């Protein structure tokens, strides 16, 4: 195929992309442009030319280890729900626009860290971009069937023009606005479309190879099995290989989070958090589909070509060409081109943001900005970014032109990943551990990177570029222990995993050492708390967590904002802020919240580091000493814990109060009962005394009284005196029994005799009232206090006699013997006890309580005394309503 035709096809493809991007940029909110599927597909930027061509190469030469690149992301996807969501919330709230911004902000908006991360990313990604250019160049040659000779003159190389086209494309859509947090829907949509294009084409070529060139997977397997060792290419052959694969998976796991293009797509360009929900299944599915035919294409390639003379990376192109399907090969080329365009555009846009916001602006252009007007500033910033994009692509081209001819796609890809992985400890540990600080991050990243340089980059350059194997084979100065690929004698890892293992170890150790032995500044601690805090109340927390001390004027800050946002936008933003926080519009002094807000406004445009520097230029920030910040943090923590403590105490107090209230109520009732009891007692005592006194007075003043009447009054006096005595005894008894001071005089007695004695006591009343007592108690011996139990039954009988009617009144005494107790009942046919009084009748205050002015029958102590006596025998007493009358039951243990 002629050069020119292919160039035209490429131009047409670019043109179509351009139109689509333009359309989607104008229809930002259309559901076609902004939906979870577009988001999930845009993550497919992960599959670069390396995937598109390189996977087949690896599968053809080293077997299934090509899968490691995809297993990491597949494992990471479910974790997105938690980790990526947390990242998203931080990024949205802080208006972060790149991975450099993210890490710098975590460590207190640290200018140097931002720059360091940017440099690491540049070092990792530029070769990676050059890899993409190499793929373009090589596939271009295959399609056009040119000889594999490098052009001497730059401008004769088609790849150069493609690179320029990509740069123009990235510049056009990547720098439309100065605000880097802008979602850049055009690019996102294009990336999604290209993800779809490359996947479809890859599946088409897979189906073509498997089912058209060969007769399905079985046929392919049998043929492959016949000509080479298929098992070697489809199994993990040893533990060593397994360990290596494990590390490879770890590398790709990190890459899916930290590659600048992934961060750009998955985090910065994320519009809605819920899009994640689709991505966590769709993206792994995408990767799965992409890998479906890799192994078959690899086998087919091995069957058709000699991998030592042909680069197996390009089996996808070579196979259709060999079988005269030229248009299919062209389609494959377009698919590869789309993978390259996505990767390069997104990477360069992401990197250019980092270069401008974290490197160039904070380290040189701030002064200029401060003097300029908003239009000029915007122009400046845009130009810096455009310049960055071009420079990046040019650098990548130069790298490709000079170094990467001999290097396979796969190896450079992994070097990139290992370099980017150096950001992982600072990134991940920093997100979950507040103590991680800038010193740790700088040490970790720097030493980790140096380790990569020593274990991977230097030997790689020696081997691949200078063809000098002395260093890698013998170590520096012949010290074998320091051999870069087998550091400290670790000899079973591949160069890549070896470098990853050692650099990560060094990185993490240095990070921890730095974090533990160097004290972080207050700003860092501020942001550390903020990043680590629970993402759910992130916004709330970050509002309050901002610690700042000093003096600042709204007008000064307004000036700075106007330089970047313009007067109108600034006014709108500030008014909104004031309204939201209920601050009067004419406020002169700015508070910490306002400063924080302004920094965030600027962050989107010039990055967090620069915005912090610009704002701090116009405010007089007094350095908050570490002790002060610690005090503030301590205080807020203390307040929280004190609050917690107070709440606990308060709860306890409430409970205690409640208990006290209950006890108090009980006491009040008891006190009332006591008063009533005393009243009753007093009344009971006064009644016979009154009678005695009256009788005595009558006798005293009447000398002529007949003798028999005199006798009657004297008898009354004696009766009342007896009554008084009995009453006093009862009161004392009750007191003794109630306080447990009465000791029982226990002996073996016959219950029948005791009951008979009780009946004898009431003989007189029974005769007087003409009632009958039927005694069914049998003779039974057991241990009890005879006197006391006698008291119980005489009390019960006295009560019963009182309640029954004269003449037909009947009282029945029964005894039932059980295994370990006896049950004696005293049943009458009297008027009974009102239902509601049942539970009170054994209460010594019962009568006084319920009838304060109504005269009780008897003293009211009888049943109470009975209860105490029975209970001191470990028995029980209760009453039961009968159809006529009441039955009192006494249960005594044998």
Partner 1 sequence: MKKILIVDDEPNIIMSLEYALQKNGFEVFVARDGQEALDILKKKVPDLVLLDIMMPNVDGYETLQKIKENEKLASVKVLFLSAKNKPADIEKGLQLGAVGYVTKPFSLKKMITEINELLN
**Which residues form the interface with partner 1 (CB under 8 A)?**
679, 682-683, 686-695, 697-698, 701-702, 709, 712-713, 716, 719-720, 853-857
Beta bridge partners of 551: 620
Would you call 835 exposed, middle or buried from its count of C-beta atoms within 10 A (0-12, 13-18, 19+)? exposed
CB nearer to partner 1: pick between 747 and 853: 853
Residue 691 Cβ vs partner 1, minimum distance, rounded to whole Å: 4
Q: Is the separation of the CB atoms in 841 and 833 below 8 Å? A: yes
CB-count burial class (<10 Å; 0-12, 13-18, 19+) for 573: middle
Cβ proximity to partner 1: between 434 and 680 the closer is 680
Q: What's phi and psi for 825, nearest 5 deg?
A: -120, 145
Report DSSP state, residue 493: S
User: In the numeric block, which tokens belong to residue 614?
Assistant: 């610009």
Min dist CB 857 to partner 1, Å, is: 7
CA distance 761 to 765: 9
Closest separation in Å from C-beta 711 to partner 1: 13
We find the least distance from the C-beta atom of residue 665 to partner 1, in angstroms, to be: 22
Nearest to 132 by CA among 168, 159, 161: 159
Number of residues assigned to the chain: 894
Q: Which residues on neighbouring strands pair with residue 826, listed in sequence order?
A: 813, 888
Looking at beta carbons only, is 313 or 720 nearer to partner 1? 720
CB of 701 to partner 1, least distance (A): 7
Residue with Cβ nearer partner 1 (676 or 817): 676
CB count within 10 Å of CB 767 equals 9
For partner 1, which is the closer residue by CB, 150 or 854? 854
Assign 888 to helix, strand or coil.
Answer: strand
Backbone angles phi, psi at 880, to 5 degrees: -130, 140
Q: Which is nearer to partner 1, 381 or 804 (CB)?
A: 804
Q: Least distance in Å: CB of 861 to partner 1?
A: 16
**How far from 34 is each of 26, 29, 189, 267, 714, CA to CA, in Å?**
12, 6, 8, 15, 115
- Residues 426 and 447: beta-carbon distance below 8 Å: no
* CA-based end-to-end distance of the chain: 118
Closest C-alpha among 302, 318, 294 to residue 229: 302
C-alpha Rg value of the chain to the nearest Å:
49
Considering the complex, state which of residue 610 and residue 848 has its C-beta at the smaller distance from partner 1: 848
CA atoms lying within 13 Å on the CB side of residue 665: 5
Q: Which is nearer to partner 1, 704 or 743 (CB)?
A: 704
Shortest distance (Å) from residue 879 CB to partner 1: 21
CB of 716 to partner 1, least distance (A): 4
User: In angstroms, what CA-CA distances link 812 with 777, 781, 834, 846?
Assistant: 10, 21, 21, 25
| Contact residues for 462 (Cβ-Cβ < 8 A; gap 6+) | 468, 469, 470, 471, 472
Cβ at position 709, least distance to partner 1 in Å: 8
Q: How far apart are alpha carbons 260 and 100 in whole angstroms?
A: 9
- Mapped onto helix, strand or coil, the DSSP state of residue 819 is coil
Looking at the Cβ atoms of 664 and 722, the one nearer to partner 1 is 722
Owner of token pair 């079985």: 218
Cβ distance to partner 1 smaller for residue 609 or 695: 695
Contact 496/248 with Cβ under 8 angstroms?
A: yes
Element (H, E) at 601: helix 592-606
Q: CB nearer to partner 1: give 273 or 675.
A: 675
Phi, psi of 557 (to 5 degrees): -65, -40
Residues 6+ positions from 268 with CB-CB distance below 8 Å: 91, 96, 97, 98, 180, 181, 183, 350
Alpha-helical (H) ranges within 150-267 are 158-174, 185-207, 216-227, 239-258, 260-262
Per the listing, tokens 């109504």 go with 854
129 neighbors 393 (Cβ within 8 angstroms): yes
Tokens 């019963």 belong to residue: 800
Nearest distance from residue 690's CB to partner 1, in Å?
4
Q: Tell the smallest beta-carbon distance from residue 883 to partner 1 (Å).
A: 25
Q: Would you say 749 and 879 are in contact if contact means Cβ atoms under 8 Å apart?
A: no
**Closer Cβ to partner 1, 178 or 799, answer by number:** 799
- From CA 752, how far away is CA 755, in angstroms rounded? 5
Q: How far is the CB of 723 from partner 1 (least distance, A)?
A: 9
User: Least distance in Å: CB of 688 to partner 1?
Assistant: 8
Cβ 687 to partner 1 shortest distance, Å: 6
- Closest CB to partner 1 among 368 and 851? 851
Smaller CB separation from partner 1, 226 or 700 = 700
Q: Cα–chain-centroid distance for residue 523?
A: 25
Region of residue 642 (phi > 0: left; psi between -120 and 50: alpha; otherwise: beta) = alpha
For residue 658, the minimal CB distance to partner 1 (Å) is: 32
Using the minimum distance from each CB to partner 1, give the nearer residue, 322 or 802. Answer: 802
Least distance between partner 1 and beta carbon 650 (Å) = 41
Whether 566 and 522 have beta carbons less than 8 Å apart is answered as no
Give the residue with the Cβ less far from partner 1, 598 or 848.
848
Nearest CB to partner 1, comparing residues 662 and 682: 682
What's the closest the beta carbon of residue 771 comes to partner 1, in angstroms? 20
Query: In the structure encoding, which two tokens stand for residue 878, read together?
Result: 């209760």
Q: How far is the CB of 862 from partner 1 (least distance, A)?
A: 16
If the CB atoms of residues 144 and 673 are measured against partner 1, the closer one turns out to be 673
Query: Beta strands of 500-615 (E only): which ranges?
Result: 550-551
Strand 810-817 relative to strand 772-775, pairing: parallel
């Amino acid at each position: 195929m002629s050069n020119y035709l292919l160039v035209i096809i490429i131009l047409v493809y670019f043109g179509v992309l351009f139109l689509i991007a333009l359309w989607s940029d104008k229809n930002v909110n259309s559901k076609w442009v902004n939906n979870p599927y577009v988001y999930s597909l845009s993550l497919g930027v992960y599959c670069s030319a390396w995937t598109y061509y390189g996977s087949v190469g690896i599968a053809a030469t080293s077997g299934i280890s090509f899968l490691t690149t995809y297993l990491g992301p597949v494992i990471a996807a479910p974790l997105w729900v938690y980790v990526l969501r947390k990242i998203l919330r931080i990024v949205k709230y802080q208006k972060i626009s790149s991975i450099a911004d993210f890490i710098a902000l975590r460590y207190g908006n640290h200018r140097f860290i931002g720059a360091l991360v940017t440099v690491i990313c540049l070092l990792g990604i530029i070769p990676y971009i050059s890899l993409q250019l190499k793929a373009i160049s090589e596939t271009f040659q295959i399609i056009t069937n040119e000889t594999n000779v490098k052009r001497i003159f730059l401008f004769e190389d088609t790849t150069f023009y493609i690179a320029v086209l990509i740069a123009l494309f990235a510049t056009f859509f990547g720098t439309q606005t100065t605000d880097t947090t802008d979602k850049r829907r055009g690019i996102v949509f294009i990336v999604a479309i290209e993800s779809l294009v490359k996947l479809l084409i890859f599946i088409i070529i897979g189906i073509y190879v498997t089912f058209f060139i060969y007769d399905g997977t079985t046929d392919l397997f049998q043929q492959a099995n016949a000509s080479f060792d298929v098992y070697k290419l489809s199994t993990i052959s040893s533990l060593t290989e397994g360990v290596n694969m494990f590390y490879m998976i770890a590398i790709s796991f990190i890459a899916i989070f930290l590659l600048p293009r992934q961060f750009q797509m998955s985090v910065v360009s994320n519009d809605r958090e819920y899009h994640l929900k689709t991505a966590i299944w769709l993206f792994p599915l995408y990767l799965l589909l992409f890998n479906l035919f890799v192994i078959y294409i690899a086998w087919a390639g091995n069957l058709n070509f000699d991998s030592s003379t042909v680069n197996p990376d390009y089996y996808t192109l070579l196979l259709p060409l060999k079988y005269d399907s030229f248009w299919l090969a062209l389609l494959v080329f377009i698919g590869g081109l789309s993978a390259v365009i996505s990767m390069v555009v997104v990477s360069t846009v992401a990197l250019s943001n980092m270069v401008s916001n974290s490197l160039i602006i904070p380290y040189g252009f701030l002064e200029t900005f401060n003097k300029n007007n908003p239009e000029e500033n915007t122009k400046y910033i845009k130009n810096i970014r455009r310049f960055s994009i071009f420079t990046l692509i040019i650098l990548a081209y130069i790298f490709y032109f000079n170094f990467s001819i001999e290097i396979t796609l796969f190896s450079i890809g992994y070097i990139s990943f290992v370099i980017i992985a150096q950001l992982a400890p600072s990134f991940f540990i920093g997100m979950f551990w507040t103590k991680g600080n800038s010193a740790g991050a700088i040490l970790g990243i720097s030493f980790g990177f140096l380790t990569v340089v020593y274990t991977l980059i230097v030997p790689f350059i020696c081997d691949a570029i200078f063809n000098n194997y002395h260093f890698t084979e013998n170590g520096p100065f012949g010290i074998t222990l320091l051999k870069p690929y087998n550091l400290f004698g670790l000899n079973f890892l591949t160069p890549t995993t070896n470098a990853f293992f050692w650099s990560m170890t060094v990185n993490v150790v240095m990070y921890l050492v730095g974090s533990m032995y160097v004290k972080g500044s207050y700003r860092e601690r501020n942001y550390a708390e903020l990043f680590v805090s629970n993402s759910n109340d992130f916004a709330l927390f970050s509002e309050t967590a901002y610690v700042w001390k000093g003096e600042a004027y709204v007008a000064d800050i307004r000036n700075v904002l106007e330089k970047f946002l313009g007067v109108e936008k600034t006014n709108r933003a500030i008014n909104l802020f004031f309204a939201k926080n209920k601050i009067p519009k004419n406020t002169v002094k700015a508070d910490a919240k306002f400063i924080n807000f302004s920094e965030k406004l600027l962050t989107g445009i010039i990055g967090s580091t620069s915005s912090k520097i610009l704002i701090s230029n116009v405010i007089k920030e007094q350095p908050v000493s570490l002790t002060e910040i610690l005090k503030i943090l301590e205080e807020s923590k203390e307040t929280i814990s004190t609050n917690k403590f107070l709440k606990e105490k308060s709860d306890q107090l409430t409970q205690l109060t409640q208990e006290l209230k209950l006890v108090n109520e009980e006491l009040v009732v008891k006190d009332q009962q006591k008063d009533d009891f005393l009243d009753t007692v007093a009344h009971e005592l006064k009644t016979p005394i009154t009678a005695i006194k009256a009788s005595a007075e009558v006798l005293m003043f009447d000398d002529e009284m007949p003798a028999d009447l005199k006798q009657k009054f004297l008898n009354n006096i004696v009766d009342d005196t007896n009554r008084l005595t009995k009453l006093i005894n009862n009161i004392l008894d009750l007191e003794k029994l109630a306080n447990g001071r009465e000791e029982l005089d226990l002996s073996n007695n016959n219950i029948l005799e005791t009951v008979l004695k009780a009946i004898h006591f009431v003989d007189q009343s029974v005769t007087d009232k003409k009632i009958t007592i039927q005694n069914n108690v049998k003779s039974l011996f057991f241990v009890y206090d005879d006197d006391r139990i006698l008291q119980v039954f005489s009390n019960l009988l006295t009560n019963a006699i009182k309640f029954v009617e004269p003449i037909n009144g009947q009282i029945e005494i029964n005894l039932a013997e059980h295994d370990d107790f006896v049950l004696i009942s005293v049943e009458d046919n009297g008027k009974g006890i009102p239902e509601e009084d049942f539970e009170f009748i054994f209460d010594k205050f019962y009568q006084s309580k319920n009838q304060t002015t109504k005269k009780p029958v008897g003293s009211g102590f009888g049943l109470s005394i009975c209860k105490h006596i029975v209970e001191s025998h470990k028995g029980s007493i209760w009453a039961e309503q009968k159809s006529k009358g009441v039955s009192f039951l006494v249960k005594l243990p044998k």
